[in-house]
Chains A and B, each alone.
Chain A
């Protein structure tokens, strides 16, 4: 509602501007094709939200490393730096895609718990099962659970927040009922599966590689493919997307299926990484995934942001958690720092949006 009142500039400070020599930022905003392609790409990157979040991440890592060499420059430190965020990264990518369509998926933590237990169960009952089969099974189960969410949201005509809050309870309840008082322990799992969680290829953990491949595929799809662009269109104005003839329901369904599938994969990887599955796997991680996406520049009301940002946001959240003790702050304060970061990110978004709207209005008045 307050978006409209900033469209009208009350003053006109840049009235002396000649339309020929507009600033780079204005050109990028109003008529990007006026800039040369390289310059356009460079300015876009330099001004991107992803870069600023990345710089914050670099700053945190540099600070922590300067206090404690082994934060990054030890075999363990380097591995943890890459390994710890990879599960949250998968969830944040899926969550990011859903938020871009102006929905939200709160059930990812429960889906993850369900497939984490499923992984252990499969190995218990079929000890010789190949690892790939288990990963695919988890992916499929996750996709199925996501399909339920998506079908209810897209065809039921009800808000995603309510539906996924409901399925958060249902999926978690199913997992707990199924598991009873069982726990999956590292001893129940085949060695090659556990190695998946710790093995590295050229010092890069396999889990991180999986997460990065997923990120690259989803990011590329969102950036270039028709389906990906339509997700943005749906998120920025659902009604207009319907009028324009976009397959809104199918796209929203696909976004939820993707989010569920990635959460399913994350559950399997969780079991591989930690070796134990207890009842509180992924409890509350859905809010962390939303937080990662929001910090990474995906607007909570859809239509903008990239999964690259969400991925950097996930890295930042997890890294801060590990960096605080090296900085001499008790890690109890981690959540407070995260909260402050989220608030900072959305206030920043608001300020930038207001400024951009004013600039657009000014340049419109000039022409």
Chain B
């Protein structure tokens, strides 16, 4: 009897397990589903991105796009984890320009060189193609052509007795001292110097604005020198003097926006998206109508007029996606001139044709913010610097973030911290 019971039990167990295994998804007829990974941070809002997906799905009944969002700082690791499975968890993903060397080497991104028409090549900014191009091959469509801008609160600056924003960082310090003396705000400027990529972006602005650079022409680190040390010392001094908000050491871009939106800072450095949200969105800002943008200052005597960071991103199709054609169709739609013009409130088009002739007037009128951000883009972009395109970028960046933070928290001298990071970069390049 017991044997019979045992056999019955085992049979039951096998049936249960088999039914669980049988739950694997089946291929069904109907529209092809394209899964997209994007980010919720600097750039278009989730509402805008969802609206674009809605337009695409309505126009393409045979394709169904599903989109997900993560924060910028989770994006890289989410992509690399998703690519470990076949087929990958996402058919399309947003990638930062600093990751394309790594992703193309790892074989994650589809080579789209043959899908780019001559017309697209001619009409899109050459600097935009640089984002998604590695060794002459195009691995995706450029999308977010962004750089950091200098923002100031005109009302507070006028209260302090100044009629124009600073042109140099030295002038910013002078104005800040006056702002503090008049008790207008406690800390005149807020930065994103937290242990994130954001710190590298702000550091590039200051370093290049001091005549320095991250890498030399041979790919060797070039920041552990006089320009690097002087720049880092200026940052430390600005915290010690109460000019920089000391919490900047733990902040990312959204913290900068929150502090600036409360009128707690007169100056801020952030991406394009902040202008509309701070100056026009009364739900999220207490300083609407008071904000202006100006050319990013540089250091006096450096011979540099202005410098900023190129923070551009592109959309790519996963190399292992089973639905590459449908996925590419969505990427082309998302980056098309029409969509980019109509949704230009928080990112500007990659299409140089949008900035020409009558189109420019139209572009400046699409949203209230565009009247300011479009001319600012044209003025600032020639001064935007790119970060190195190397396959080991995430590790190199983290070591430099550590160096900056060690100096800012006074664990190491700027010289020591930068030398250590440079040694790590040399090691990684081997």
A binds B: no
B interface residue numbers (CB < 8 A to A): none
